[in-house]
Every structure is written in C-alpha cells, then in structure tokens.
Structure 1
Amino acid sequence: MITVTQSAATHIQNFLAKRGKGEGIRLGVKTSGCSGMAYTMEFVDEIQADDLVFEDLGVKIFIDPKSHVYLDGTQVDYTKEGLQEGFKFENPNVKESCGCGESFHV
C-alpha cells in the first residue's frame, strides 16, 4: 500500500490541475546515488497494463510491480523547511540512506 499526506495530495492535485491532464502520479525507483537507489516521480497520462494502482485522498498512485517491492508501505509527504520544499518519502523498507538524502538502500 502507498499513501499520501494531505499536504502531498493537495500539491499533486494542484500540479495535475495546472497541467490540465493526467491520471495521477507514477512512483518508482532507479539505480542511482551512493546508496544504490533513488526515487522517481512523474505524471501518468497513460496507464500501463501491469501498473499497480493505489488511491489515497483523491490521488491515484501508479507503480510498476518491480518498484513496488521497494516502495510497499511508503508514505509520500510534501514538506517546506526554510528555503527547501518538495516531496519526502517515508519508506519503511529503507535500511540506510546517503548523507545527502538522495539515495537509499533496502
């Protein structure tokens, strides 16, 4: 299961409204960074046949089956701290992450 906070849901809905199209967002992982994996997030205009679909607070979240293994149980939040703002992932599967927070290892 993948969930979003109210703050993340509001930002995602606003982004989709500004675009004027889109089914939701796609979360995934890619090989990157010093810890091995990094999160990916993009808009979904076309649903893939093997997509897993979760819906929370009015937001549809699409994940490919391979990424789901690493993301199951993740909560997506949107935070603003000082001059930095953006999406934050609370992933219970992460064993360690790099110092800059850009990549993780499960």
Structure 2
Amino acid sequence: MKSRLKLAALHFNENSDRPQAVTKQDVERYDVIQPKYKSGGYLVRKVHVKATYGYVEQLLQETIEQCNTGGSDLQEEDPKPLCSAFERPGKATAIQQHKSRFSTT
C-alpha cells in the first residue's frame, strides 16, 4: 500500500503542472462536455498535454543499482502512526466528560 502511495505522489509531482495543449496552428485546445447534472448545459475544460512517465526510468535505474550493490538506503522500520503522539482517555473518562459538557446545571 505504501508503494502505491509513493508512486501516486511521484506521478502527481511530475504531472501536476502540465501545460495546456495547442493545435498545429498554436491555438489553445478546449473540450466542451455536457454532464447529466447540467440538464442540457455544458462545461468548457482545458485540454492538457499527455502525462509523462519519466520518473519510471529513474526508479528502474535506482532499483537495478540497489540490487547490484546489495545495500539499501531505504527506511527499514515503519514510522509510528500520527495518532500515537496523542494520549487517549479511558472510555469511562471520555463518557463522563461528554455528559458533563451537556449538563445544564
């Protein structure tokens, strides 16, 4: 799962600021769509250039290098979850605080 998240982040970083596509006559490209929720209306969207996958070559190079050297600079252990930094009250304490918050007297 972590690998998928990291790949998604790499893909986003590489393709987040794609320029708008242009025609051979240097006219910016747009697309007109008609979604159902518009009930016959339309939307105009910019057409961007196709996504690139240049990071894949770098990943393959790094993987081959790591396999050949036998070493790994990757983090061995999983980081602690963010919620571990907070103290959780016991169930009885939480219920008591919740009830006292809504008491009218």
TM norm structure 2: 0.24
Q: RCO higher in 1 or 2 (8 Å CA, sep ≥ 6)?
A: 1
Whose helix proportion is higher, 1 or 2?
2
- Between structure 1 and structure 2, the one with the greater Rg is 2
Q: Give TM-score scaled by structure 1 length.
A: 0.24
Higher strand share: 1
